[in-house]
Amino acid sequence: MPAAIGQELVALLPRLRRFALVLCRSPSLADDLVQSACERALANADSWAPGTRFDAWVFRILRNNWIDHLRRLRTEGMKEDVAAQMEIVGDAGEEPILSRLLLAEVQQIIDTMPPEQREVLLLVCVEDLAYREAAEVLGVPIGTVMSRLARARKRLVEMTAAA
């Protein structure tokens, strides 16, 4: 069974890393979370039920790793400054610069959202999970996913219109 899911894990790596980056905002920590999630998925391959969404199962493993990490941090304390990890890459031309500014503005708005809204926004709007699947990943009722997503979308619209 681990060999069968190995190929699916490899195909899922970019999406897992993107989700990990949204959760932790640190490229090195995101890589560690993805690696740990993949190890757990392979070690527990027998617990995945064929016929269900594999990506949702692995996203849940990754999110649980993140929660475990946050719990450890409460006792250990933060080790690196997230703001110091941001890198700006230049690009010639006005259009790419304006696009990057807009993207940075949207990212700032998303960063100010509560983590619950940020997670739902990424899972549903970026990772294209159904509400039910996002609810399973997050361990909340589907109605909670819907209300968090509605609040997140409303905030995005209000904040981008104000800017």
Number of H helices and E strands in the chain, helices first, is: 7, 0
In this structure, what is the dihedral angle of CA atoms 90, 20, 115, 126, given to the nearest 10 degrees? 70
124 and 50: one domain?
no
Residue 156: give the domain boundaries. Answer: 92-163
Q: Does 44 map to a domain?
A: yes
Query: What pLDDT, on a 0 to 100 scale, did the predictor assign at position 93?
Result: 66
74 and 96: one domain?
no
Supply the pTM of this predicted model.
0.58
> How far apart are the C-alpha atoms of 83 and 55, rounded to whole Å?
30
> How far apart are the C-alpha atoms of 150 and 57, rounded to whole Å?
24
Residue 159's CATH number: 1.10.10.10
Query: What pLDDT, on a 0 to 100 scale, did the predictor assign at position 64?
Result: 93
- Rounded mean pLDDT for each run of 10 residues along the chain, 163 residues in total: 75 93 90 94 87 90 92 74 56 72 84 91 90 94 95 89 70
Overall number of domains in the chain: 2
97 and 70: one domain?
no
**Whether 140 contacts 117, CB under 8 Å:** no
